[in-house]
Amino acid sequence: MSVLQIQTAEAFDKLLDPARYKAAYGGRGSGKSHFFADLLIEDSLCERGLRSVCIREVQKSLKDSAKRLIEDKLQEHRLGEADGFKVFREVIETPGDGIITFQGMQDHTAESIKSLEGFKRAWGEEAQTLSARSLSLLRPTIRANGSQLWFSWNPRRKNDPVDEMFRGGTLPTGAAVVKANWSDNPWFPKVLEQERQDCLRDKPDQYDHIWEGGYAGVTEGAYYAQCLAEAKAKGRIGNVAPDPLMTYRAIFDIGGTGAKADAVAIWICQFVGREIRVLNYYEAVGQPLATHVAWLRANGYGKALIILPHDGTTNDKVYDVSYESALTAAEFEVLVIPNQGKGAATMRIEAARRLFASIWFNKDTTQGGIDALGWYHERKDETRNIGLGPEHDWSSHGADAFGLMCVAYEAPKEPEQRRAHARRGSWMSA
């Protein structure tokens, strides 16, 4: 039974009942963090000696944690030392020798995480940043009888581990999951309402992610953020039909073969006059070329002109044959774009920016690629506040192939016929 009179928004009612996992996702202003901070204080009062940890993936200082929010809640509820709560620099003591501590999961190893055994509450703040490794360490560690794991987050990408865990299919046993946005908060402050309205006016491309709990279609600071916003506003992301008389082009970014290889990304497009019609997007990790070719043929691109980056002439580490020779052997016409040298990534980005106003996307079949373009961003040296070039992450493969498409459009070349040099019976059949 609660010993506090805490008002709770109806959206969180489901999380008041006992559950092994309690998860709340949504946009800014929903009150997610306030709900869990209140619940943590209430549980600490109801269960003397309760040990709890508030975690983030990276916690550089306590300023990055929920500690200040919990302190404010203690003041709001007029709870102090007389009630068993003592606030120290790094921890908060709770009634009955309980404790609330604040930690970054990135700092933990398989050995150090054992220090949390016996803890009965773990609250993952900003849970969209938690890695799969962190979740795999945390879940079996918080295993005392009656223990609970809580997660609150603003969704970022569908493949973020916390989203895959609670929104990607089968829920963990004993999970209660709710979505809460600003409109679910009866105490949504007027100052945030003005911020919300300003965001709707000034950043319509980011509004759904920030305020309505949608996935981030465009990341702030992404190379193509403004380009994508304009394409969406002008209706260039929608239904795009192929021209049956025009050549299909399949533009590759080569990842390689094997479990540790980067992804292979392919954009399917047609150059129609001054337009680039982007019709499909494909991505796969660790598969042999035969898998990619099978996808091309199954989707009607068996006669496509293949456009490869310069490393298309380099032999695969597993099968010891190049993409160029293998695809030529499979009776595709192949064009290899020469090495652009130092600054090639920047050249591709600038080519894409120049041409973006002429690019049309078929939304239903290219959304994965559009997501990659919306995320593709600069790696920063925060200390010196300088850019270090494109960040190499999940988005860079699709973005690199997209940039190569634009380079190929600006500098078209006749495909070289190299079938005579192709190696037969290679990894195509693997």
Task: Give per-residue pLDDT as tens, 52-108.
Answer: 999 999 887 777 789 999 999 999 999 999 999 999 999 999 999 999 999 999 989
Using only C-alpha atoms, the chain has a radius of gyration, in whole angstroms, of: 26
Above 70 in pLDDT, residue 125?
yes
Tokens 């009150």, residue located = 31
pLDDT tens digits, 257-280: 655 678 899 999 999 999 999 999
Above 80 in pLDDT, residue 183?
yes
Locate the DSSP E strands across 86-167. 86-87, 91-94, 98-104, 121-124, 148-153
| CB 156 within 8 Å of CB 27 | no
Backbone angles phi, psi at 360, to 5 degrees: -120, 135
**pLDDT value at residue 195:** 95
Calculate the alpha carbon distances from 74 to 35, 359, 412 in Å: 13, 55, 67
Distance CA 33, CA 68 (A): 12
The pTM for the full model equals 0.67
Distance CA 42, CA 36 (A): 10
Q: Where are the domains of the chain?
A: 10-184, 237-429
Above 80 in pLDDT, residue 415?
no
CATH T-level assignment (fold) for domain 10-184 = Rossmann fold (3.40.50)
Distance CA 361, CA 107 (A): 42
Give me the torsion for CA of 135, 138, 139, 144, rounded to 10°.
Answer: -170
Distance CA 88, CA 106 (A): 23
Above 60 in pLDDT, residue 426?
no
β-strands 378-381, 359-362 pairing: unpaired
- More confident of the two residues 150 and 203: 150
Calculate the alpha carbon distances from 70 to 74, 87, 138, 391, 392 in Å: 6, 10, 22, 35, 37
State the architecture of 237-429 in CATH terms. 2-Layer Sandwich (3.30)
β-strands 21-25, 148-153 pairing: parallel
Above 90 in pLDDT, residue 410?
no
**pLDDT value at residue 339:** 83
Calculate the alpha carbon distances from 94 to 1, 55, 74, 101 in Å: 18, 18, 11, 11
Distance CA 347, CA 270 (A): 21
Structure confidence at residue 1 as a pLDDT band (50, 70, 90)? very low
Give the full edge-to-edge strand order of the sheet including 263-272. 237-238, 359-362, 275-285, 263-272, 249-253, 305-308, 333-336
> Same topology for domains 10-184 and 237-429, yes or no?
no
Distance CA 385, CA 192 (A): 29
β-strand partners of 216: none
Tokens 């500098």, residue located = 411
* Among candidate residues 140, 159, 163, the one with its CA nearest the CA of residue 151: 163
DSSP category for residue 338: P
